[in-house]
């Protein structure tokens, strides 16, 4: 129940991120809600489709949909009266990335997929919604820039898989994976850590 509640919290955080992007792009109400929904469940939806996992998780359980609607409404009310709590959202986003990445990896692992596929599915679950958000709001996706975002997810999933291979209990490996992703992402934000970029000489 605790993990399920944490998942819904992360859905709310990602929905808030999408709603804010929609507001910034001057979308109408429907556009804001759609962008919030894609950000919150887009990565997990693509994962379920690729793994032939039906029904899609938010169709099987409608509570994520209600969470998205509530988070979007709360976001619209908040931005009308108060400034956006940027620092708090960055921390919450790091936690959301961590939970979604490791949860997505667990889904692929339980489906019997190989480690590389587990890493890809976990990373897609954590970062896929943000890619959709950025593309639809006419931005270069965060994972294609220098920010340590997808790389933080990959590192955490690798830790999770290594601990599972060492026969560490699932709960311990899950917690270690989440801590690794969140710590790597927050460290990247705090210390402005970036991956190297490549440019062609003129």
* 134-178 pLDDT, tens digit each: 999 888 777 776 578 999 999 999 999 999 999 999 999 999 999
52 has pLDDT over 70: yes
- Work out the pLDDT band at 187, boundaries 50, 70, 90: very high
Mean pLDDT of the chain: 92
Distance CA 150, CA 101 (A): 9
Question: Looking at residue 146, what DSSP letter applies?
Answer: S
Tell me: cis bond preceding 182? Omega within 30 of 0 counts: no
* 2-22 pLDDT, tens digit each: 788 989 999 999 999 999 999
pLDDT of residue 119: 97
Distance CA 174, CA 122 (A): 12
Distances (CA, A) of 169 to 12, 20, 110, 176: 29, 38, 14, 11
């Amino acid at each position: 129940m605790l993990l399920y509640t944490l998942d819904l919290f992360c859905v709310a955080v990602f929905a808030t991120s999408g709603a804010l992007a929609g507001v910034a792009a001057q979308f109408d109400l429907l556009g804001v809600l759609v962008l919030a929904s894609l950000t919150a469940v887009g990565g997990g939806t693509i994962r379920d489709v690729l793994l032939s996992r039906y029904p899609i998780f938010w169709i099987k359980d409608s509570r994520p949909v209600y969470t998205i609607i509530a988070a979007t409404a709360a976001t619209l009310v908040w931005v009308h009266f108060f400034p956006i709590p940027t620092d708090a959202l960055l921390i919450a986003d790091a936690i959301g990335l961590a939970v979604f990445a490791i949860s997505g990896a667990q889904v692929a692992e339980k489906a019997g997929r190989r480690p590389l596929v587990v890493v890809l599915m976990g990373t897609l679950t954590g970062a896929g919604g943000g890619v959709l958000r950025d593309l639809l709001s006419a931005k270069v996706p965060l994972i294609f820039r220098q920010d340590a975002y997808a790389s933080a997810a990959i590192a955490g999933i690798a830790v999770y898989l290594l601990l599972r291979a060492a026969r560490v209990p699932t709960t311990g490996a899950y917690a270690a994976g989440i801590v690794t992703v969140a710590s790597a992402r927050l460290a990247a934000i705090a210390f402005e850590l970036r991956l190297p970029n490549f440019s062609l000489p003129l």
